[in-house]
Amino acid sequence: MIPFNYLGMVFHTFGSFVYPRSVRAAQCAFLKVLPSQSKVLDIGAGTGVLCQFGYVCRDDISYVAVDPAEGMMKYANEYVETHKGVAEALPFEDDSFDAAMMGEALHHFKDVDEALKETVRILKNGAKLFIYDFDLNTFMGKSICRGEKLLGEAGNFFTLSDIQEKLESYGFSVMITKHGWRYTVDATVQK
């Protein structure tokens, strides 16, 4: 397994460089429609890079991060409220958040279905979900998937049609945008 708890400084220093401008623009567009004072949860947040990018676009909303690796979260910015936890058992009340984000995290979840059930549980009706990950239908996506599995990671990568179908089965309306060998999801849940 990748020792994320000991890699916080590396991800803090270099993590933001792996997010293309188009992905950051998609995240800004996702956040722009939220009302002021919305509460946004970054699931599998690592060092909170999605919160950092989000804050540049919207500094009038609250950012909360959850990750199992405290060694990563200690590098989150001071405006991010951090919690130790896993996506499959989120430490929050039902209907607590206006939006959730997952940046290069979905493929690390041990049980994607349980993580999505938990995500729906903590989101309010009509709340939004943003996902950034790697497209399994591309050479780079397949290569990253193989590499992560060799390192003992879950390797839950999806094709675009598979992630759309999975999210729709949990009540999300889904819009997917390709970014080369990556993709973003902008989804809204109806409960």
Per-residue pLDDT of 118-172, as tens digits, reads 999 999 999 999 999 999 999 999 998 888 888 788 889 999 999 999 999 999 9
Asked whether residue 175 carries a pLDDT value surpassing 80, the answer given is: yes
Cβ distance 91 to 82 under 8 Å? no
pLDDT surpasses 60 at 7: no
Cα separation of 58 and 103, whole Å? 17
Q: What are the CA-CA distances from residue 169 to residues 9, 43, 73, 95, 129 (Å)?
A: 37, 20, 31, 19, 14
Q: Where are the domains of the chain?
A: 4-189
Phi-psi region of 57 (alpha: psi -120 to 50; beta: other; left: phi over 0): alpha
| pLDDT tier at 185, thresholds 50, 70, 90 | very high
Residue 23: pLDDT over 70: yes
For the domain made up of 4-189, the CATH class stated in words is: alpha beta
Nearest Cα to 61, choosing from 37, 28, 97? 37
Lowest mean pLDDT among 16-20, 69-73, 126-130, 179-183: 16-20
| Positive/negative CA dihedral, 141, 90, 99, 111 | positive
Q: How confident is the model at residue 72 (pLDDT cuts 50, 70, 90)?
A: confident
Nearest to 98 by CA among 122, 80, 76, 67: 122
Kindly report, residue by residue over 37-61, the tens digit of the pLDDT. 999 999 999 999 999 999 999 999 9
CA distance 9 to 23: 23
Nearest to 187 by CA among 116, 124, 127, 121: 127
What is the chain's length? 191
In the prediction, which pLDDT does 74 show? Answer: 92
Question: What pLDDT does 14 receive?
Answer: 60
Look-up of token digits 């956040």: 31
Say what percent of the chain tops pLDDT 70.
91
Read off the pTM: 0.92
Burial class (CB in 10 A: 0-12, 13-18, 19+), 33: exposed
For residue 158, the 8-state DSSP code is B
